[in-house]
Copies of this chain bind each other. A is one copy, B any other.
Amino acid sequence: MVTYAINKEKLEKAAYILKTVAHPTRLAIIDLLNINEKMGVTEICEILNCEQSLISHHLINMKLRGILKSEKDGLNVYYSLKEKDVTKLIECIENCDCNM
* CB contact under 8 A between A66 and B99, given known A4-B47, A32-B2: yes
**B66, A83: Cβ atoms under 8 Å?**
no
One digit per residue, 1 when the CB lies within 8 angstroms of any chain B CB and 0 when it does not, for chain A 56-96 equals: 00000000011100000000000000110110111011111
**B100, A96: Cβ atoms under 8 Å?**
no
**B18, A94: Cβ atoms under 8 Å?**
no
**Closest residue on chain B to residue A84 by CB atoms:** B98
One digit per residue, 1 when the CB lies within 8 angstroms of any chain B CB and 0 when it does not, for chain A 34-71 equals: 11100100010001000000000000000001110000
**B67, A83: Cβ atoms under 8 Å?**
no
**A89, B93: Cβ atoms under 8 Å?**
yes
Q: Once bound together, how far apart are the Cα atoms of A88 and B94, in whole Å? A: 12
